[in-house]
């Protein structure tokens, strides 16, 4: 059974705008005016999580980039944290897919995580004690605090990804938008990530994750299946059916937990 969020939760005017973290209505996303996915209508409330599942090229990253304002919406409406313009942008954290380039910047772990506080303080605002505590706390939560003064270029791919996730946590954002955040993480890293996302949701942040990991998607409140169109949208139980996954991936996948 596939349902639209709108049917379930949105009756116009009755919900406080700050409660709605993400609202898309007949949204089309794509590059250079060429739509990749059309007709996206959904709502994500405070403290909810949404997983985007689909193959490479299915439009997951394009949708995420549109949410955070890196790409303009081609059609329809998009509201973030109750605002239709970009004024909410600083309360949204984003982690894209990193190209593993051969050259890594001469930065230490703490320098990378500290960048997460720049959005809150702008060009010249001073970082305060609370910011430094948040930076240290974010490194602890991703278990990279012992690497705080290590050069990032000396870290493994998985460790680097944890550092980037610590930067996202340091943003203390209301909406977290993460593009395949666990792709380079090992089992321990994925367990840490799952716990951290749980904590973020508990404090009232909402999370949108693009993933290839069906189990990860199963932990979210909502799942959207994408195959250059919205194949399904709803609770994991309703959406992650063998038939819908076959439609999304073109192959049969096991769906049990």
Residues interacting with other proteins, by CB under 8 A? 65, 68-70, 89-90, 92-94, 96, 98, 103, 105-108, 111-112, 115, 118-119, 122-124, 151
Residue (10 or 110) nearer to other proteins, CB = 110
Minimum CB separation of residue 126 from other proteins in Å reads: 12
User: Which C-beta is closer to other proteins: that of 6 or that of 118?
Assistant: 118
Alpha helices by DSSP H, the chain: 5-9, 60-67, 109-114, 118-121, 129-141, 157-170, 187-202, 214-218, 236-239, 242-249
Query: Residue 179 and residue 97: Cα distance in Å, rounded?
Result: 6
Instruction: Please check whether residue 39 is in contact with residue 26, taking contact to mean a CB–CB distance below 8 angstroms.
Output: yes
- What minimum distance in Å lies between the beta carbon of 158 and other proteins? 18
Residue 90 Cβ, how far from other proteins at the closest point, in Å? 5
To other proteins, the closest distance from the beta carbon of 257 in angstroms equals 34
Identify which of residues 89 and 183 has a Cβ nearer to other proteins in the complex.
89
Q: Are 66 and 78 in contact (CB under 8 A)?
A: yes
CB of 118 to other proteins, least distance (A): 5
Q: Taken in order 241, 243, 247, 251, is the CA torsion positive or negative?
A: positive
3-state SS assignment for residue 209 = strand
Contacts of 136 (CB under 8 A, 6+ apart): 145, 148
At 17 the three-state DSSP class reads helix
Q: Which is nearer to other proteins, 94 or 193 (CB)?
A: 94
> Nearest approach, Cβ of 105 to other proteins (angstroms)?
6
Closer CB to other proteins, 73 or 232, in the complex: 73
- Report CA dihedral (207, 163, 89, 35) to the nearest 10 degrees: -70
Report the alpha-carbon distance of residue 72 to residue 65 in Å, rounded. Answer: 9
Q: Which is nearer to other proteins, 172 or 219 (CB)?
A: 172
Tally Cβ neighbours within 10 Å of residue 67. 22
Q: Is-contact 210 224, C-beta < 8 A?
A: no
Closer to other proteins by Cβ: residue 70 or 191:
70
Using only the alpha carbons of the chain, give its radius of gyration: 18
Minimum distance of other proteins from residue 8's CB (angstroms) = 29
């Amino acid at each position: 059974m596939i349902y639209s969020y709108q049917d379930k939760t949105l009756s116009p005017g009755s919900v406080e705008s700050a409660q709605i973290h993400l609202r898309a209505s007949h949204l089309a996303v794509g590059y250079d005016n060429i739509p990749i996915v059309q007709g996206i209508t959904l709502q994500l409330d405070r403290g909810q999580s949404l997983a985007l599942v689909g193959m490479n090229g299915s439009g997951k990253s394009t949708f995420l980039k549109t949410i955070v304002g890196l790409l303009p919406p081609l059609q329809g409406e998009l509201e973030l944290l109750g605002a239709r313009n970009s004024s909410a942008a600083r309360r949204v954290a984003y982690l894209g897919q990193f190209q593993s380039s051969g050259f890594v910047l001469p930065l230490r772990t703490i320098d990378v995580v500290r960048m997460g506080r720049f959005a809150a303080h702008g060009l010249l605002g001073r970082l305060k004690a609370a910011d430094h505590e948040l930076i240290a706390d974010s490194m602890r939560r991703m278990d990279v605090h012992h690497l705080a003064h290590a050069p990032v270029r000396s870290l493994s791919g998985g460790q680097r990804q944890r550092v980037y996730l610590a930067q996202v946590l340091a943003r203390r954002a209301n909406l977290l938008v993460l593009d395949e955040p666990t792709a380079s993480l090992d089992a321990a890293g994925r367990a840490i990530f799952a716990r951290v996302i749980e904590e973020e949701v508990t404090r009232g942040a909402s999370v949108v994750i693009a993933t290839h990991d069906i189990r990860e998607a199963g932990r979210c409140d909502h799942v959207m299946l994408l195959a250059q169109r919205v194949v399904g949208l709803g609770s994991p139980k309703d959406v992650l059916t063998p038939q819908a996954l076959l439609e999304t991936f073109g192959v049969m996948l096991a769906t049990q937990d």
